[in-house]
Structure 1
Amino acid sequence: MSDRSHNRKPGSRIDQGMATRRAVLGDAHVDKASRSATGIDQDFQTLIVEGAWGTVWSDNTITRRERSMLTIALLAALGHQEELAMHLRASRNTGTSLEDIREALLHVAIYAGVPAANTAFKIAKTVFEDSDPDSPSNT
């Protein structure tokens, strides 16, 4: 098992996770999620901040662009449409181009099935309908 700690940025997982989450998803999304947390999902929100954002997304082994492409492909393959749309919007903050997203979704078509990719392409078209054809950074 590899030691990921050498690739993690300094600071607590909560602090680093919140900083990374804000950098990727944006302050508005994180503020809304934080405000809407209640007793039933507060521990879940902490788990997401520590695990997903403070450990996985904060690791420097691969870039945020690469992580974004992996996340988009996995969410599309698993049919998690709301999370897919969120990460497609967030791709503007990770350096992920529309070409990168097209390639990730083509992989989904081959390895997870055409219906999953078809749905993901529809979601991407909706998310990026007003953007420059070469970059999601204008959405």
Structure 2
Amino acid sequence: MADHFEKNERFDQGMKTRRSVLGDAHVDRAQTVTTGFDRPFQQLITEAAWGTVWSGNHWTKRERSMVTIALLAALGQDDELAMHVSATANTGASPEDIREALLHVAIYAGVPAANHAIKIAKRVYDEMDADKTSREET
């Protein structure tokens, strides 16, 4: 699937950054299900979101992660929120960082949005802990 993308410097940088944040397994799964219908969208987000915004040099991945999670929570984007909470394992944003970001959401975007996002973050962190425990036991 990935071989059908238009390769360019921004795409290559985006793919590198996307993999460093979301992990190879996630990106490989996304690539596997990409079709001709959504390939232009995948090209766009790889170049714009990952190759430009996430690849900038002014903020750290930790800072970008906190801001992204706050925005996704405020907008009620549950699936993307869960994905980015999971990605904190790669960005360096701690659960305490995310809690602080979600407190900002409560004040600036509303308590219901923050409350829902906190439930999602708790679930994702519990899953991450369970996965880590299971790997340690094997």
Identify whether the pair has TM-score above 0.5, normalized to the shorter chain.
Answer: yes
SS of equivalent residue, structure 1 residue 128: helix
Matched, 1:25 2:37: no
Alpha-carbon distance in structure 1 between the residues aligned to 2:16 and 2:127: 28
Alpha-carbon distance in structure 1 between the residues aligned to 2:13 and 2:55: 7
Alpha-carbon distance in structure 2 between the residues aligned to 1:24 and 1:40: 25
SS of equivalent residue, structure 1 residue 53: helix
**Residue aligning to 2:83:** 86
Alpha-carbon distance in structure 2 between the residues aligned to 1:43 and 1:130: 32
**Residue aligning to 1:8:** none
Alpha-carbon distance in structure 2 between the residues aligned to 1:39 and 1:15: 20
TM-score norm. by structure 2 comes to: 0.86
SS of equivalent residue, structure 2 residue 92: coil
Deviates more, 1:123-132 or 1:44-53: 123-132
**Residue aligning to 1:60:** 57
Alpha-carbon distance in structure 1 between the residues aligned to 2:128 and 2:11: 33
Runs of at least 5 residues in structure 2 that lack an aligned partner in the other structure: 1-7, 134-138
Alpha-carbon distance in structure 2 between the residues aligned to 1:96 and 1:122: 18
Shift of 1:129: 1.4
What amino acid does structure 2 have at the position aligned with 1:30? Answer: V
Please give the root-mean-square deviation of Cα atoms over the aligned residues, in Å.
1.5
**Residue aligning to 1:128:** 125
After the TM superposition, which parts of structure 1 deviate over 6 Å for at least 4 consecutive aligned residues?
none
Runs of at least 5 residues in structure 1 that lack an aligned partner in the other structure: 1-10, 133-137
Alpha-carbon distance in structure 2 between the residues aligned to 1:100 and 1:36: 32
What amino acid does structure 2 have at the position aligned with 1:29? Answer: H
Alpha-carbon distance in structure 1 between the residues aligned to 2:125 and 2:88: 11
Q: What is the correspondence of 1:1-139 to structure 2 with a 5 Å cutoff?
A: 12-129=9-126
Question: What percent identity do the matched residue pairs reach?
Answer: 69
TM-score norm. by structure 1 comes to: 0.86
Alpha-carbon distance in structure 1 between the residues aligned to 2:50 and 2:13: 7
Deviates more, 1:122-131 or 1:14-23: 122-131
